[in-house]
Amino acid sequence: MKPIDTSKAGPLITIKNIGRKYVIGAEIIHAIKDVSLTINKGEFVALMGPSGSGKSTLMNILGCLDTPTKGEYILNGINVSHMSDNELAEVRNNEIGFVFQTFNLLPRNSALDNVALPLVYAGINKEKRQARAKAALENVGLGNRMDHRPNELSGGQRQRVAVARALINDPSIILADEPTGNLDTKTSIEIMGLMEDIHAKGNTIILVTHEEDIALHAHRIVRMRDGLVENDSMNENIQTVRNRDVAAT
């Protein structure tokens, strides 16, 4: 199966000559030097790079967790390059769904309450929150685990809760930071299958990973090194990866 052509969908993310430097004492660290990138709506992109490559800094900028020191970042038509922390928080809640390696679930809350949490910040009433959270959990195969707390769930189930939470606000983009980093091989395959299903429904996904076999699930792989994009290419091996995963299960 060839990667889906999303070139006619229009850009969701446009970054132009982005740079990010940090001043530590008398030393200036250029975490990102000069990066330009366009990601269209509906793409599934893997962002890769070794430690110190700048991928984590770029991820923080794409996720509106940080701002660049130079350049421009347009997210879904909004210039977020120099927003305040409060403005960035609003953009994150409306535009971005996060999936983290460590799940980031509230331990005393049920799966249902964890998924509904972003809707609390959005000012949605309780009845609507719970209805949407139930639907989201059913969509990730956890309709029978809604009342369970995180410590009553397996690692794969916890990550499914995190994915449901990321989708609850119908965000413009799903940003997945090492989503299989704490999972075994079988569960990693299941989670990546879920990501593929989410992408097939039209969602845009940016996957940050250092694992080559996980990155190969994406349709496009952007490799970084020394604060720059080293390579940006389409992945022609998607069907091979899917066949391998089916055989492994």
- Which tens digit of pLDDT belongs to each residue from 20-45? 999 999 999 999 999 999 999 999 99
- CATH match of 11-248 with 3.30.565.10: no
Could you tell me the pTM of the whole model?
0.87
C-alpha 200: how far from its chain's center?
Answer: 15
CA quadruple 70, 220, 247, 139: dihedral positive or negative? positive
- Which of the 8 DSSP states describes residue 3? P
Q: According to the model, what pLDDT value does residue 14 have?
A: 97
The yes-or-no verdict on residue 241 having pLDDT over 80 is no
Q: Which residues pair with 70 in a beta bridge?
A: 19
Percent of the chain with pLDDT over 90: 81
How far apart (Å, rounded) are the C-alpha atoms in residues 176 and 47? 10
pLDDT for 247: 64
Summarize the confidence of residues 64-73 as an average pLDDT. Answer: 95
How is the chain split into domains, by residue range?
11-248
For residue 152, pLDDT over 80 is answered with yes
pLDDT at 239: 59
Q: What is the dihedral of CA 187, 119, 203, 211, to 10 degrees?
A: -40
**pLDDT at position 7 over 90:** no
Could you tell me the pLDDT band of residue 122, with boundaries at 50, 70 and 90? confident
Mean pLDDT score of the chain:
91
- Give the tokens for residue 202: 């039209």
Q: Which pLDDT score, from 0 to 100, does residue 96 have?
A: 94
CA-closest candidate to residue 39, choices 89, 95, 91, 86: 95
